[in-house]
């Protein structure tokens, strides 16, 4: 079976035809780049992803991790792959060259990431997780902290983490009990226990820098009193050399449903009373700093889920083309009819087209969110910057949660295409289902994302950000109507967009009323219907561009691709969007049974 983990033709379509990323080379920041260089970077990412990372993926899943006396050993094959990632400088594609980065646009980094993370997410995460730690240091740290930590984090020489969750606090971060006491030399003594720490301990790097949420002795309770500290696994001297091991101990690793080769650690800080850390930013600024990293991480989780979905779809498509089983329905009861590839069967074609539509819609969506971040950074004035920041903030919980849900659904559908073979470890889609499930849970469960969308993001700018969002979809509808072939699709999406506006107003008002609990019981269904409308928007946008090419007369090799864009939009808008409208009606009705039912009435 062909080892294809991303669709390069579709990547190029989104980059250059939909988002016109090559226009960034006209901006001073990217004047040293050109389309040819972008293409070379993505091609090389494909080479290392397919040839070096992918062969270690199933092996790492089966071999797992070894925990022994506080130390974690990763699968042996990861060491060579990790070394190649560092040598190729793949860990810091977007970072400032001053700190060892490549200075690439966000969306080009995403395109390369499709192959790198698609090859083996665990290896790439070990190599690249220092980005989030480093970004917090770059924005909020002192010059000394930047000089000490940044380049080593961005280049992957040192690892990074995030020590947030505690056994009793869970998602209630304000209930944490980890404490910090200031020392005479300006450092802090940290004491506490943390759980669910990705990459908290492993043998791929010489040092790991832990950002730790803790409360300084005497500071207020709740989230307002939380600070954040840099706690190295091995203390770093003022000259940058490594000193003595810090009092940070991995006490165990979790046996998980999926991502078996990614170490999820329990950590004890200050078990001997000798854990030292450096305050990052100001005291009681921990949540502000942490959420800067968290928002990036949530976009990354949505990308991770999409990545699994893309790989699963391509595996299923390849299998459906190769697997010979059953006669074509057109053959009727002819006993002499030969069996055909299962891609010829209508139900399999339905599953594949549904997967295709979601994968293509998610690709455009996550790249579009990345472009919003890019435009925010490159904005000429505060008004433009605020516009794109608002979009990025609004879309973040949707990228995370919607892609996590639909990405998992695509992986499950891939197993269905394989049939019984999809359920066994011999074939890759079984692992993808297990690995993908985590994306709806970590970095804030999808329910938390939905509460964030309803409680915070929907009302940003007194609703102006959401109104601007609807306006952008209307622009795509107008563009689609330039092609008469797309009138029906444009009309159907316009109905859904207008309905979404009504639903948002209804649920938003209820969320501020005495019925707010009932409203929040519909927060996740609202996130899902908004995500469906975004998928329809992205797919209609694609179809409009494709129809323009079909009308103009494309090259013969591109006809099927452009026709496929139109068919994806047709399928989603005519088949899935009607169900979305039904869900919207349910949200408006706002039945309160979920919050009215007594605890005892659940049974059990």
Instruction: Please identify every residue annotated as catalytic.
Output: 443
Residue that has been written with the tokens 């864009």 in this structure: 565
Q: What token pair was written down for 49? A: 């992803």
Structural contact between residues 279 and 377, judged by C-beta atoms closer than 8 angstroms: no
What 3-state DSSP class applies to 432? helix
Distance in angstroms (rounded) separating the CA atoms of residues 533 and 540: 10
290-318: string of b/e by CB count within 10 Å (b at 16+)? bebbbbbbbbbbbbbbbbbbbbbbbbbbe
Distance in angstroms (rounded) separating the CA atoms of residues 372 and 349: 34
Neighbours of 47 (CB within 10 A): 12
What SS3 string covers 64-95? CCEEECCEEECCCHHHHHHHHHHHCCCCCCCC
Q: Which run of H or of E encompasses 527?
A: helix 523-552
Distances (CA, A) of 561 to 91, 308, 549: 32, 22, 11
Helices 106-119 and 35-48, interaxial angle, to 10°?
A: 20
Q: What token pair was written down for 497? A: 């967009």
Residue that has been written with the tokens 């009138």 in this structure: 487
Q: What token pair was written down for 397? A: 């919980």
Q: How many CA atoms lie within 13 A of 160 on its CB side?
A: 28
Residues belonging to the chain = 604
Distance in angstroms (rounded) separating the CA atoms of residues 512 and 421: 50
Cβ neighbours for 510, distance < 8 A, ≥ 6 positions apart: 516, 518, 519, 590
For 132, counting Cβ atoms within 10 Å of its Cβ (0-12 exposed, 13-18 middle, 19+ buried), the class is buried
Helices 523-552 and 464-480, interaxial angle, to 10°?
A: 30
Distance in angstroms (rounded) separating the CA atoms of residues 440 and 405: 6
Q: Which run of H or of E encompasses 252?
A: strand 248-253
Q: What token pair was written down for 363? A: 């690709």
Which of 373, 361, 297 minimizes the C-alpha distance to 24? 373
Under the phi-then-psi rule, with left for phi > 0, alpha for psi from -120 to 50, and beta for the rest, what region is 69?
left
């Amino acid at each position: 079976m062909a080892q294809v983990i991303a669709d390069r033709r579709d990547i190029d379509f989104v980059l250059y035809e939909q988002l016109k990323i090559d226009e960034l080379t006209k901006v001073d920041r990217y004047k040293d780049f050109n389309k040819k260089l972008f293409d070379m970077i993505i091609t090389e990412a494909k080479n290392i992803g397919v040839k070096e990372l992918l062969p270690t993926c199933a092996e790492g899943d089966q071999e797992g991790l070894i925990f022994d006396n506080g130390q974690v050993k990763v699968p042996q094959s990861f060491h060579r792959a990790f070394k190649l990632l560092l040598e190729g400088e793949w860990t810091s594609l977007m970072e400032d060259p001053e700190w060892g980065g490549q200075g690439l646009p966000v969306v080009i980094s995403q395109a390369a990431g499709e192959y790198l993370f698609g090859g083996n997410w665990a290896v790439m995460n070990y190599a690249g997780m220092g980005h989030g730690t480093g970004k917090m240091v770059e924005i909020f740290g002192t010059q000394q902290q930047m000089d000490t930590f940044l380049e080593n984090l961005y280049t992957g020489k040192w690892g990074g983490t995030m020590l947030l969750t505690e056994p009793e606090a869970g998602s209630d971060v304000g209930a944490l009990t980890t404490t910090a006491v200031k020392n005479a030399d300006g450092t802090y003594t940290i004491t506490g226990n943390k759980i669910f720490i990705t990459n908290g301990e492993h043998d791929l790097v010489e040092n790991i820098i832990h950002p730790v949420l803790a409360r300084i002795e005497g500071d207020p309770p709740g989230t307002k009193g939380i600070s954040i500290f840099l706690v190295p696994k091995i203390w770093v001297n003022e000259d940058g050399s490594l000193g003595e091991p810090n009092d940070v101990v991995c006490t165990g690793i979790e046996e998980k449903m999926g991502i078996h080769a990614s170490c999820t650690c329990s950590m004890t800080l200050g078990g001997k009373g000798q854990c030292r850390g450096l305050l990052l930013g100001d005291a009681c600024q921990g949540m502000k700093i942490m959420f800067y990293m968290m928002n990036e991480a949530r976009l990354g989780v949505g990308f991770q889920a999409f990545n699994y979905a893309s790989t699963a779809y391509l595996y299923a498509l390849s299998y459906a083309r190769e697997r010979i089983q059953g006669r074509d329905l057109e053959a009727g009861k002819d006993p002499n009819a030969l069996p055909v590839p299962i891609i010829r069967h209508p139900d399999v074609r339905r599953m594949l087209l549904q997967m295709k539509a979601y994968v293509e819609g998610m690709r455009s969506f996550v790249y579009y969110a990345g472009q919003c971040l890019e435009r925010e950074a490159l904005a000429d004035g505060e008004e433009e910057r605020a516009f794109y920041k608002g979009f990025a903030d609004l879309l973040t919980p949707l990228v995370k949660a919607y892609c996590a849900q639909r990405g998992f659904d695509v992986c499950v559908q891939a197993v269905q295409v394989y049939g019984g073979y999809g359920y066994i470890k011999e074939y890759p889609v079984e692992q993808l289902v297990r690995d993908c499930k985590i994306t709806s849970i970590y970095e804030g469960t999808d329910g938390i994302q939905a509460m964030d969308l309803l409680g915070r993001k929907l009302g940003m700018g007194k609703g102006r950000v959401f109104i601007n969002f609807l306006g952008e979809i209307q622009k795509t509808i107008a563009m689609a109507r330039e092609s008469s072939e797309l009138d029906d699709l444009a009309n159907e999406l316009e109905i859904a967009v207008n309905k979404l506006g009504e639903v948002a107003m209804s649920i938003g008002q209820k969320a501020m009323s005495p019925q707010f609990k009932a409203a929040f019981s519909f927060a996740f269904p609202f996130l899902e219907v908004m995500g469906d409308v975004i998928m329809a928007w992205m797919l209609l946008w694609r179809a409009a561009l494709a129809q323009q090419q079909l009308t103009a007369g494309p090259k013969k090799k591109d006809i099927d691709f452009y026709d496929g864009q139109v068919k994806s939009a047709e399928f989603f808008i005519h088949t899935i969007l009607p169900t979305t409208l039904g869900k919207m009606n349910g949200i408006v009705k706002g039945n309160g049974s979920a919050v009215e039912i007594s605890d005892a009435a659940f049974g059990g």
